[in-house]
Amino acid sequence: MVAVYEQAGDGAPLSEDGLAQIASLKAHYCQWLDGKEWERWASLFAEDAIMQVGPSAGAARRGRAAIKKLVSGQLQRARTLHRAWDPEVSTEASGGVRVVWQMQDRVETPLYVLEGAGFYEDRYVQCDARWKIASVRLHRSKVELRPKSMIMRAILWMHAGGWLARLSHSADQTLGEALHVGLAAGERP
């Protein structure tokens, strides 16, 4: 693994072993997420972790149990592929580590196929001498959604025209968060 390592603040340098542990943790994140191993996947998070997918802070979930419930509910019946690579690491004065990973994902459901690319912006902390995920924020620079059914085409049309928001604000917000592209081409978090 090749990492761009930069010292931030007055944080202590991260050891090669620490970097390897964080890289292994992210590999397990992708592997267990795609394998639907929800207990193992959730164990990677600190108890009070935060996950934000999309631009709205209101869409963030706080706590390991809430994150597991959200993601397992959304992806249980989907076939997924998540990739993270090329970590850019910086240490924090608090002892935490911030890592920006390039990412790609593919989510296939009976209604649609979503392919995305962008960055994970993660923060890691040590809990009982083990690295855990304290926060995950997904920044998308590209989203491609291909409907597989007339129903999904109709839902996307309703979303684009503002009709879905009138019928179900929460459904419209969820779809909007999933499709949000928050970074311009070449921009990084």
- Would you say the pTM of this structure is higher than 0.75? yes
Long-range contact set of residues 8-17: C-beta below 8 Å, sequence gap at least 24: 8/90, 8/91, 8/92, 8/98, 9/91, 9/92, 9/93, 10/93, 11/90, 11/91, 11/92, 11/93, 11/94, 11/95, 11/96, 11/97, 12/91, 12/95, 13/91, 14/89, 14/91, 14/97
> pLDDT for 95-111, tens place per residue?
999 999 999 999 998 88
Tell me the three state secondary structure of residue 10. Answer: coil
Which domains, ranges and CATH numbers included, belong to the chain?
Answer: 4-179 (3.10.450.50)
Look up residue 89 and give its two tokens: 């690491």
> pLDDT for 42-96, tens place per residue?
999 999 999 998 766 667 899 999 999 999 998 999 999 999 999 999 999 899 9
